Structure 1
Amino acid sequence: MKGKIIVSLLSSTLIIGLGAELNHENTSFLNPLCVSVKADTVSGTFTSSGTNKIYTSASTSGTSIGSYNSGQKVSYDSKIKSGKYLWISWMSYGGQRHYMIEENLNTGHMHGTDTNSSMTTNVKKTNTKHSTGKKKTTSSVGKKIISLARAEIGKPYKTGATGPNSFDCSGLTQFIYNKVGISIPRTSQQQSLVGKYVSLSNLVPGDLVFWGAPGTSGHVGIYTGNGKCLFAPQPGQTVKEQPMSYYSPQFGRHIF
């Protein structure tokens, strides 16, 4: 019974912070030497070894809405490598996704113990700068993403829809990426923090493109090459492919 009371108190604490507004991440601080990020669907239980903050995004620049103290446990459903940290993530009782740091990938320092250590390994940073003088080629994964996305052209936009007959913007991108075996979060805000940040000039076909700032993006599409992107626009419209000059996204994310 005591354990149940603790869980109830924790859930109340988490729900209190649901109305907090996400901070805009300043992209000028993004380091081109970064770790590729991918959300992996793994589950387990994490036991905090100290005071660990709870965030509304996988970024220490995001909003902190509470914390777990030493010995407190949380069940998670995914892990994300973002920047120098390995994060665990779970859906709160109020329907908000939460994030907590599990490991500092630079130092190997663990912030607690984990029943599932499938991703708790140190990752070395690699130089991910694009060569500006070389032609960008489309990978086999990128080609498959574009082919699958174009097959959805003409299907109606519907708020909250994730396919196969209708989509909202992030429902479409999640649907297509799932088809090529890549698991990404559900919303455009969450998707805008997954993978490696890329400028519009360094996009490769199949990358995601976003409107807004990382962590608060309100719209997402798929870059199809030659200055075009494909997306589910808004209610009353259908999935379409258009020149990006018409809609001007702010940045991209490379995940595959």
Structure 2
Amino acid sequence: MSARTVLPALPPLLTRAGAASAVAAAVLAGSVLVPGAAAEAEAAGVSSKALKVAASKKGSPYRWGGAGPNQFDCSGLILYAYKKAGRSLPRTAAAQYTRARHISKKSRKPGDLVFFHGRGRVYHVALYAGKDRVWHAAKPGTRVKKERLWTTSVSYGRVR
């Protein structure tokens, strides 16, 4: 089937290769014209990599103030995972909350941050793994693990 058969309005000099190039150019131009599309795609890649890094630390012991590579507290795990994914974040859960772009529960995706609230402050942070589960370093005496969300006193954030 020729380009002329599929696209009869095209000039005869436009070959299949030319038609493919025109389609590719239109697709690329469309992605440039959609505000934030490239940034969202890049953020998704970074979040996915951070999630893989956090999962690779399964079983690492909790250590207050630990930021890797072998021991972690909650915000240290997030800091480490995102650093390995190419993003820098502040050290504490509260500062990470301030830096993140806040999103709704409905729009959360794997790799987004989950902030735990109580008594008017953020006291814990974890990495959303999907299906109401998070990767986190919970408290002294525990290890990095994936577990089900245990409270609804949370909010979500996306690393910019």
Identity %: 34
Aligned counterpart, 1:250? 154
Residue 66 of structure 2 corresponds to residue 170 of structure 1: no
**For 1:247 and 1:156, how far apart are their aligned partners in 2?**
23
Deviations 1:41-82 (A, max 9, x none): xxxxxxxxxxxxxxxxxxxxxxxxxxxxxxxxxxxxxxxxxx
- Tell me the TM-score normalized by structure 1: 0.43
Matches within 5 A, 1:99-248: 139-212=44-117, 216-244=121-149, 246-248=150-152
Aligned length: 119
The alpha-carbon distance between structure 1 residues 154 and 249, as it changes in their structure 2 partners (threshold 3 A), is farther
The alpha-carbon distance between structure 1 residues 144 and 153, as it changes in their structure 2 partners (threshold 3 A), is same
Structure 2 regions of 5+ residues with no counterpart? 1-34, 37-42
**For 1:249 and 1:150, how far apart are their aligned partners in 2?**
24
Paired residues of 1:153 and 1:239 also in contact (CA < 8 A): yes
**For 2:121 and 2:89, how far apart are their aligned partners in 1?**
16
Q: State the Cα distance separating 1:195 from its structure 2 match.
A: 2.3
The alpha-carbon distance between structure 1 residues 239 and 248, as it changes in their structure 2 partners (threshold 3 A), is farther
Q: State the Cα distance separating 1:233 from its structure 2 match.
A: 0.3
Paired residues of 1:142 and 1:207 also in contact (CA < 8 A): yes
Where 1:241 maps in the other structure, the secondary structure is strand
Q: State the Cα distance separating 1:249 from its structure 2 match.
A: 4.7
Which structure's residues are more often helix, by fraction?
2
Deviations 1:100-126 (A, max 9, x none): xxxxxxxxxxxxxxxxxxxxxxxxxx8
The alpha-carbon distance between structure 1 residues 174 and 227, as it changes in their structure 2 partners (threshold 3 A), is same
Larger radius of gyration: 2
**For 1:201 and 1:242, how far apart are their aligned partners in 2?**
20
Q: State the Cα distance separating 1:198 from its structure 2 match.
A: 1.2
Paired residues of 2:46 and 2:82 also in contact (CA < 8 A): no
- Tell me the TM-score normalized by structure 2: 0.68
**For 2:91 and 2:44, how far apart are their aligned partners in 1?**
24
Whose relative contact order is higher, 1 or 2, with alpha carbons under 8 Å and at least 6 apart?
A: 2
